[in-house]
Structure 1
Amino acid sequence: MKTVDPRAALALIEQGALLVDIRDADEHARERIPGACCIPLEHVGSAPQLQQAPGRTIVFHCRSGMRTRANAAALEAASPGCPAYVVAGGLDAWKQAGLPVVRNARAPLELMRQVQIAAGSLALLGAVLAATMSPWFLLLSGFVGAGLMVAGLTGFCGMARLLVHMPWNRALRG
């Protein structure tokens, strides 16, 4: 799949190309390129927007360009008969080029960032409490570490499942 810089991608979009953001909906809601449609990576193969666009140029992007590069073959397969491109550097490069983005500061932080903040806070709290109160609090840090390890090995993150039900994430449950 061909890679284009953000300015070349903008030119393709202005000529009628379909811009597809392959990030998750929570990432897209917080910050996005104007006019981009959100088709998370796991739904790209069955997305009607791609199946109904024979011959139309498609430009894919993610945040940094890593997800699109790593999944270029799947993205190309999901857009048969269409010229398909990947934005080099993704949304980050788009912003560095001074191109417009839509930001919604009221949207909740991306779920993965919430997990990182919560896990880091709990691990730190366990270490501080173990140092100041009782070594038994090291179990809290160990529990969080074990949960992260299980999430990495299995793809199941109990903390993410819990956080998605918090009141500030109402829009994510949508």
Structure 2
Amino acid sequence: MPDLSPKIDAAALRDRLATPDAPRLLDVRTPAEFAASHIPGSYNVPLDTLREHSAELRGSLDEVVLVCRTGGRAAQAERALVEAGMTNVHILDGGIVAWDAADAPLNRNRSRWDLERQVRLVAGLLVLLGVVGGVAVPGLEWLAAAVGAGLTIAALTNTCMMGMLLAKLPFNRAPACDAERMVALLRDRRP
């Protein structure tokens, strides 16, 4: 499917947010990632929730900018909304990382690690365990090879199975996003 909606960079989005007809910002990261840092005024609608309720969201939104860490999940959310019939959908180019690099306002809660940092920690520990443990337990070094293969596949497909698994752990879960409440909130707060 061709890219039907343009990406918007951080500077252009800041300008648009200052206008009376500002688009809605939907952050499709996990609730824990959203709690750690988010753009003021954005709404957390995790990717799975957005996919499940895309038709309802379509009826509540005129223009939307999708936000995630770097743009991968936002692109998946864009496809879901476009398939549901929305036409005025944009993606924050470079995601929260680009927004932060542009020194744009960001609500932060440093008590949580973002998912990418957790993936790096777990992958590094598994590789270290595989290499060092392979001295005592022959064959354990294949764990390091498996992690390397998984990271390669993650890069090639722009998905991360380890990240998806880590997102399901209790410390990465914040209160669930109530889709009905979110749709009502978005409908009631039209610009």
* Normalised TM-score (structure 1): 0.69
Are the equivalent residues in 1 in contact too, given 2:66–2:92 (CA < 8 A)? Answer: yes
Q: Which of structures 1 and 2 has the larger relative contact order (alpha carbons within 8 angstroms, sep 6+)?
A: 2
Return the offset for 1:99. 0.8
The higher radius of gyration belongs to: 1
Runs of 4+ with >3 A deviation = 69-72, 110-113, 143-153, 159-163
The change in CA–CA distance for 1:18 and 1:71 in structure 2 (over 3 A counts) is closer
CA contact (8 A) 1:33 1:100 kept: yes
d(CA) in 2 for partners of 1:121, 1:44 = 33
Shift of 1:62: 1.7
Residues 99-142 of structure 1, C-alpha deviations (whole Å, 9 max, x = no match): 111111112x23454344123213213322434xx2x1542x43
Taking only aligned residues, the RMSD between alpha carbons, in angstroms, comes to 3.6
- Asked if 1 retains the 8 angstrom alpha-carbon contact of 2:130 and 2:143, the reply is no
Q: Residue in 2 aligned with 1:142?
A: 142
- What does residue 2 of structure 1 align with? 6
- Is 1:43 the counterpart of 2:49 in the alignment? yes
Deviation of the 1:163 alpha carbon: 8.0
SS across alignment from 2:32? helix
* Partner residue of 2:34 out of 28, 40, 62: 28
Matched residue SS, 2:173: helix
Q: Secondary structure at the match of 1:20?
A: strand
The equivalent of 2:102 in structure 1 is 97
- 1:53 corresponds in structure 2 to 60
Please tell me the residue identity of whatever aligns with 1:66. Answer: G
Kindly tell me: are residues 111 and 145 of structure 1, through their superposed partners in 2, closer, same or farther at Cα, counting changes over 3 Å?
Answer: farther
Measure the CA separation in 1 of the matches of 2:167 and 2:93. Answer: 34
Tell me which amino acid in the other structure corresponds to 1:128. V
